[in-house]
Amino acid sequence: MVIPEDRQLNIVVAVKLVPDTNADKRIDPQTRRLVRSAAETVLNPFDEYAIEAGLQLKEQLADGSSVTIVTMAPESGKEVVRKALAMGADRAVMLSDPAFAGSDVWATAYVLAAGIRRIGFDLVLTGTQSTDAITGELPGALAEYLGVPGLTYAREIHVAAGRVRVKRETDTGYQTLSAPLPALASITKSAAEPRFASLKGIMAAKKKEIAVLRLADLEIAQAVGGDGAKLEVTELTASPARAAGKTVTAADGNAGARTIVAFLKERNLL
Amino acid sequence: MIAQQRVSLFELTAEQRAIGELARDFARDEIAPHIERWDREHTFPRELYTKLNAVGLMGMLVPEAYGGVQTGYLSYALAIEEVAKVDAGTAVTLSVHSMICGAIAALGSAAQKDAWLAKVGSEDCIAGFALTEPDAGSDAAAIRGRAARDGDGYVLNGRKQWCTNGGYAGVVMAMFRTGGAGSKGISAFLVDPATPGVAVEKVTRKLGIHTSDTVDLAFADARIPAQALLGHEGAGLSAALGALTAGRIGIAAQAVGILAACLDASVKFAKERSAFGRPIGAFEGIAFKIARMATDLEAARLLVYRAAALADAGRAFAVDASKAKLFASTAARVHASEAVQIHGGYGYTTEFPVERYYRDAKITEIYEGTSEIQQLIIARSLLGRLGD
Ligand SMILES: Cc1cc2nc3c(=O)[nH]c(=O)nc-3n(C[C@H](O)[C@H](O)[C@H](O)COP(=O)(O)OP(=O)(O)OC[C@H]3O[C@@H](n4cnc5c(N)ncnc54)[C@H](O)[C@@H]3O)c2cc1C
């Protein structure tokens, strides 16, 4: 499929609803899953960077291209999704069905891909990870299920002439990658800071559509949700308590600094 | 989300919650990282208001036709509370600014609304309020500053004291005497502080709210056009008191925000700090302080929400606003002191924010009507003017 250069783009941003990062969290020892009701739900903070990137692309293109938010979440998360609309996204689609509950990364990517195909897309944007599960696997899996190139860890993204180009962060530097649309890119936290949802945006969001798609609305050929999960958490252990720190006592600041520098050098930390 | 913290008689709408969250996120990202330094250096962060304007929080009481987003008083109170939780100084700047927006929307002529509302509501122009003079505070009817009719305008002379936002304002609602002594001789004007003859005479240093700008404005033969008159001659004191009545919702919400910050800090510290081998929160002497603080916070909040909801419903709310301000400001002052006490010596140092809350809380009992004046208003609503 070749996207004509002058066609408006359907930018789809996949987001996750997660427990408030600041709230106390609890794990159910029986199910070994996070107790979701115990914490308040927010947009995954990483995903706000993807929303911002999508909105900026839309503003730069200024040709009627649109940003659609998609999330797999219970309908009770509607008001959280509305925040993305208040930031400026055009519409949202929630993939909500009891059958989706308990999905692992694989099933989530599979269901999201079905939803995104149903919506129609030219460019899919995601965050790099979620603050709850922190697997960082979803963007790759989603690109795979959509059958499009996955350009991960983008700190800059441009779209022109039917292609997407990103500056990709690696441990040692940057890569510039380019791929034809349709494609997927995951956006890092070093991309543009997410905007605030303005008061006008909040008012406008009241009138924007949040559509709900159920299992039956999607082309899904495999078991999803808890039944279809391929990944099982078999055991949970708390990380060991940190050992007590080392206190350096010295005659004066200079001597103290020297001791600390020597300590760090010994461990190749300097 | 904010909703759950605020279980109350008032079920907040999704939109009201979203506005509270916007204010909370904004304060967290744009104020919290700087507040220690701003407080220490008495900084008025002018550029912050450009950002607040950009997200629409400067136009909460401005009709949409003038570029604002008329959110109503309840949303407004939620936003002020969230901002005050991080910085009470920013909260009062916003509150006074919005009070003037509301006054122009309510009392302004079509021409005045055209000239000023879009400016204050969406064009990054801050508004101020100038009633108090060196010799007239609670007894506002005693002001002496004169506006003398002269041809097609007025000439202003006098001194206005402690004008909040005065040094950065693009418009000031200022009360001057146009007639004889007493309340009927006072008129309200919308004055551009850039008018020749208007000068900032003094920037006042204060116990708290260091990020709020408090200045004396001197008027020396300052000539303003006749169109600057808000309402009609002689209606100035009632215009000012009307504005202050609504303003009290903002100040009461400011006190609630300070109180909420005190509670959060106290709960955290009581869990973390140990003495005699246990967290200090395990001592009844500390735990009960926190219980009372939480109870007064909720009571103060409900009074504020109720006054705001009455205002939004177009019902009489003056006495309710006085009760809300009286209760919330007293609670903020009392519990800010308790928050310092819970923190012990740490609470007295600038290492912890509670010393700032303690300094900031006091002003809520003074401006926009002292607690004595609030009690006067409440008592008169029950007793009438006995002995007058
Ligand atoms: C930081 C700050 C910002 C301010 N911002 C503004 C502003 O933007 N615009 C503006 O116009 N003003 C402003 N003010 C002024 C403020 O509103 C007045 O200080 C306040 O109304 C009290 O007036 P006063 O200071 O003259 O005290 P006074 O009126 O002299 O009162 C002194 C004491 O007597 C008590 N008292 C007075 N009358 C009575 C009575 N009838 N019964 C019982 N007790 C009484 C008072 O409650 C108080 O305890 C500000 C003040 C401060 C400190």
Q: Rounded to whole angstroms, how far apart are CA atoms A131 and A206?
A: 27
- Domains of chain A with bracketed CATH: 10-228 (3.40.50.620), 241-270 (no CATH)
| Chain B residue numbers touching A83 (CB-CB < 8 A) | 18, 21
Average pLDDT in chain B? 95
B102 vs B70: CA distance, rounded Å? 10
Q: How far is the CA of B370 from the centre of ligand 1 (A)?
A: 6
Q: Which residues of A touch B59 (CB under 8 A)?
A: 199
Determine whether the interchain pair A83/B21 forms a contact, defined as Cβ–Cβ distance below 8 Å: yes
**Residues of A with Cβ-Cβ distance to B17 under 8 angstroms:** 79
* Mean pLDDT of all residues in B233-262: 98
- Centre of ligand 1 from the C-alpha of residue B107, in Å: 24
Contact B15 A206 (CB under 8 A): yes
Question: May I ask the CATH architecture of the domain B3-125?
Answer: Orthogonal Bundle (1.10)
pLDDT at A3: 54
Over residues A240-260, the mean pLDDT reads 86
Measuring CA to CA, which residue among A232, A207, A245, A244 is closest to residue A107? Answer: A232
Q: Percent of chain A having pLDDT more than 90?
A: 66
What was the pLDDT predicted at A237? 84
pLDDT digits (tens, 9 = 90+) for B218-227: 999 999 999 9
Q: From the CA of B140, how far away is ligand 1's center (Å)?
A: 9
> Which one has a higher pLDDT value, B283 or A227?
B283
Q: How confident is the model at residue A5, as a pLDDT?
A: 59
SS3 at position B314: coil
Maximum Cα–Cα distance for chain B, whole Å?
Answer: 79
Tell me whether residues B57 and A199 touch, CB distance under 8 A: yes
Supply the pLDDT for residue B359: 98
pLDDT at B10: 66
Q: Which residues contact B225 (CB under 8 A, 6 or more apart)?
A: B152, B153
Cβ of residue B135 lying under 6 Å from some atom of ligand 1: no
**CB-CB neighbours of A171 under 10 Å:** 4
Measure in Å the smallest separation between the Cα of A220 and chain B Cα atoms.
33
Going from N- to C-terminal start, the domains of chain B cover 3-125, 128-234, 238-383
Identity of the highest mean pLDDT range in A2-16, A54-68, A129-143: A54-68
State pLDDT tens for residues B60-80: 999 999 999 999 999 999 999
Beta bridge partners of B278: B275
Residue B9 has what pLDDT? 54
Specify the pLDDT at position A221. 87
Q: What is the pLDDT of residue B1?
A: 47
Phi, psi angles (nearest 5°) of residue B253: -65, -35
Residue labelled with tokens 């006091």: B362
Which token pair is A162?
């039917």
Given CB atoms, is B122 within the 8 Å cutoff of chain A?
A: no
The one-character DSSP state at B8 is S
3-state secondary structure of B74: helix
Q: In angstroms, what separates the C-alpha of A234 from chain B's closest C-alpha?
A: 32
The shortest CB-CB distance from B18 to any of A40, A42, A202 is to: A202
Asked if residues B226 and B154 have their Cβ atoms less than 8 Å apart, the reply is yes
Other beta carbons within 10 Å of B198: 21
Whole-model pTM? 0.89
Query: CA A225 to CA A220: how far, in whole Å?
Result: 12
Domain formed by B128-234, architecture = Beta Barrel (2.40)
Question: pLDDT class for A136, splitting at 50, 70, 90?
Answer: confident
Distance from CA of A98 to the nearest CA of B (A): 24
Interface A-B, measured as beta-carbon pairs within 8 A, has a size of: 49
Cβ–Cβ contacts within 10 Å for residue B330, how many?
18
For the stretch B149-206, pLDDT in tens is 999 999 999 999 999 999 999 999 999 999 999 999 999 999 999 999 999 999 999 9
CB proximity under 8 Å: B 8-67 to A = 14-15, 17-19, 21-22, 25-26, 29, 54-57, 59-60
Mean predicted lDDT score pLDDT of chain A: 90
The span from the first CA to the last CA of chain A, in angstroms, equals 51
Give the one of A40, A41, A202 whose C-beta lies nearest to B19's C-beta: A202
Q: Which residues of B are catalytic?
A: 368
Q: Which residue has the higher pLDDT, A132 or A209?
A: A209
pLDDT value, residue B7: 45
Q: Which two tokens stand for residue A163?
A: 């292609």
Q: Which whole number is the average pLDDT over B275-294?
A: 98
Q: Is B96 in the pocket of ligand 1 (CB under 6 A)?
A: yes
**Closest-lying ligand 1 atom to the alpha carbon of residue B240:** 11
Q: Which residues of B touch A42 (CB under 8 A)?
A: 1
Q: Name the maximum alpha-carbon separation found in chain A.
A: 74
CA–centroid distance, B136 to ligand 1, in Å, is 8
Judged against a pLDDT cut of 50, whether residue B377 lies above it is answered with yes
Q: How far apart are CA B369 and CA B324, in angstroms?
A: 12
What CA–CA distance (Å, rounded) separates B260 from B258? 5
Predicted pLDDT of residue B134: 97
Q: Do A79 and B18 touch (CB under 8 A)?
A: yes
**The one-letter amino acid at B6:** R
State the distance from the centre of ligand 1 to the C-alpha of B388, rounded, in angstroms. Answer: 22
pLDDT at position B328 over 50: yes
- The answer to ipTM > 0.90 is no
Cα separation, B371 vs B374, whole angstroms: 5
In whole angstroms, what is the distance from residue B291 CA to residue B226 CA? 56
Q: Whose CA is nearest to atom 2 of ligand 1?
A: B162
Residue among A195, A202, A206, A210 with most chain B CBs within 10 A, to mutate:
A202
Band the pLDDT of B8: cuts 50, 70, 90: very low
Residue-level pLDDT at A224: 87
Statement: B238-383 belongs to CATH 1.10.1740.10: no
Residues 6+ apart with CB under 8 A from B9: B302, B305, B306
Instruction: Take atom 48 of ligand 1 and give the residue whose Cα is closest.
Output: B370
Q: Quick check: B385 pLDDT over 90?
A: no
Q: Is the pLDDT of residue A1 over 80?
A: no
Q: Is B339 in the pocket of ligand 1 (CB under 6 A)?
A: no
Q: Is B370 in the pocket of ligand 1 (CB under 6 A)?
A: yes
